[in-house]
Structure 1
């Protein structure tokens, strides 16, 4: 089968022919139809992510497809079941072996491309805003990197939770996408003074930050007393240093947040969140925004869209099974 593999951190990934794996105990073999790309993949291919699969490995942490076979002593899901999962790696291939416990059966009405764009982005924003930051109706939510994969879902979910949403993104086209997702106010990070613009809107009660760097510093200073600042990632490449005196004077909370970590120490949080999110999807209250769908043979081009910030929402790669 074909797989998009990292063979060395010094060389770019490439399409390789590899043997189709066999599922072990507690595992399933999935015919992969679609894989959602994430910024974390760009770090993983350089060995810079907090999780480092042993080399060589197949990229792709967000998978949708059909169960082909079960491993020994594995009860389900049954072959033929349409499923999605967040598997850490292995998704950019024509097939893959994953833990059966991670598989989530898909609603009949959910296409594979939606399913591959769903779990990480919506899960990150929903658990972050509802469980970690405790966003309340009537509060003001500032979303940095608001047109990106997780940022856009934070805009959408924040609005569903009753917040006033300020979306910060680069350029008119990306801000238009944020507006369509429900943003009440728009800030152009290329041209606007983020700190001044947010303060002019009354400040922020919750900040959702997958960007870091200068934007974190601006948001920190535009936060209201007792605001909660959710540290989601560092797409800018700069990890900010937090001045503790500002936290003291304004009674601020800065919260570290890694969605994937809950799988090991509180998996029930993820399960409850996914139940809520799939219910919202069935009711038509949320819909993944997928700006680009490319075939597996163009995976390198798909990652270039993330790297160059040319995508909005999610980029999804499909195989022949998902075409």
Structure 2
């Protein structure tokens, strides 16, 4: 499951499938049949699919162009939790923000699905990772993912804590709101801020004079948008990520696994922000 599924259910996501549709942006399983003319896939192959919708079902029909074969080392649970979260973080940090070794990366919402992957990928790219999350339990999860500095969004002064850690060169922000505003004031000159989403529900207004004084770059970033105008960015990124997984460099954090009959509970875990990492719904079919 993804936070985007919550927005899609309310008609607030960037993509709006025609009604009626089945929720579930990404899925993993075994191919049962292939359509006429499909090459490179056959029944029995294990794949992950970023179909955009249709994942919350025992069976689904998806374009072959959205399917990616997964290695034997990857479980279906990991595969279902893999593409959107890791893809979002890798393309954002590598292709968009050009994160460099030795830079300070601030991850907001760090205990969430994309936040955890941003910590992992940031460390793999050689950054010092500052993780901001709510509460001691979530911060411990961030620490286990490799975060160097931990900030409690409930009790710590975000701006001062980031400045004390050396300031931020890159900010990865799926939260928005007050955290965005505080983080922006703790940036180093020429910092890059990735606007990934607005989980807080608050879309911040950006004071242009602050950008001028510090030579800041604020980057709008929608991972799925590359499917339309530069799909090779996503293809190249996913090849790198699957290779890293197969080499043991990535370990998806699945905070909860629920059967399809409890899909509503999976949504509630995300809506209430009680989950860490990814929430995966299983059908038992594979």
What's the TM-score bracket when you normalise by the shorter of the two chains? over 0.9
Among 273, 276, 288, the residue aligned to 2:237: 273
Query: Would you say 1:290 and 2:254 are equivalent positions?
Result: yes
Query: Would you say 1:182 and 2:146 are equivalent positions?
Result: yes
Query: Would you say 1:66 and 2:69 are equivalent positions?
Result: no
Report deviation, 1:76.
3.9
Alignment partners' CA distance in 2, 1:53 and 1:40: 13
Q: Is the 8 A contact 1:70 1:76 kept in 2?
A: no
**Which residue number in structure 2 is paired with residue 169 of structure 1?**
133
Alignment of 1:254-273 (within 5 A): 254-273=218-237
Alignment partners' CA distance in 1, 2:240 and 2:14: 28
Among 258, 281, 284, the residue aligned to 1:317: 281
Alignment partners' CA distance in 1, 2:4 and 2:65: 23
Alignment partners' CA distance in 1, 2:164 and 2:72: 46
Alignment partners' CA distance in 1, 2:215 and 2:223: 25
Unaligned runs of 5+ residues in structure 2 are none
Give 3-state SS (helix, strand or coil) of 1:70's partner: coil
**Which residue number in structure 1 is paired with residue 93 of structure 2?**
129
Report deviation, 1:72.
2.3
**Which residue number in structure 2 is paired with residue 248 of structure 1?**
212
Report deviation, 1:86.
0.7
Report deviation, 1:132.
0.2
Report deviation, 1:75.
2.3
Report the TM-score when normalising by structure 1.
Answer: 0.88
Alignment partners' CA distance in 1, 2:266 and 2:134: 20
Report the TM-score when normalising by structure 2.
Answer: 0.99
Give 3-state SS (helix, strand or coil) of 1:320's partner: coil
**Which residue number in structure 2 is paired with residue 304 of structure 1?**
268
Give 3-state SS (helix, strand or coil) of 1:123's partner: helix
Query: Would you say 1:209 and 2:186 are equivalent positions?
Result: no
Give 3-state SS (helix, strand or coil) of 1:219's partner: helix
Alignment partners' CA distance in 1, 2:282 and 2:93: 30
**Which residue number in structure 1 is paired with residue 105 of structure 2?**
141
Aligned pair count?
Answer: 286
Alignment partners' CA distance in 1, 2:145 and 2:37: 44
Between stretches 71-80 and 172-181, larger displacement belongs to 71-80
**Which residue number in structure 1 is paired with residue 189 of structure 2?**
225
Alignment partners' CA distance in 1, 2:243 and 2:10: 37
Report deviation, 1:74.
2.0
RMSD value over aligned CA atoms? 0.7
Deviation track 1:165-201 (CA, whole Å, cap 9, x = no partner) reads 0000000000000000000000000111100110111
Between stretches 209-218 and 68-77, larger displacement belongs to 68-77
Among 65, 69, 77, the residue aligned to 1:101: 65
Give 3-state SS (helix, strand or coil) of 1:202's partner: coil
Report deviation, 1:320.
2.2
Alignment partners' CA distance in 2, 1:148 and 1:75: 36
Unaligned runs of 5+ residues in structure 1 are 1-36
Stretches of 4+ moved more than 6 A in 1? none
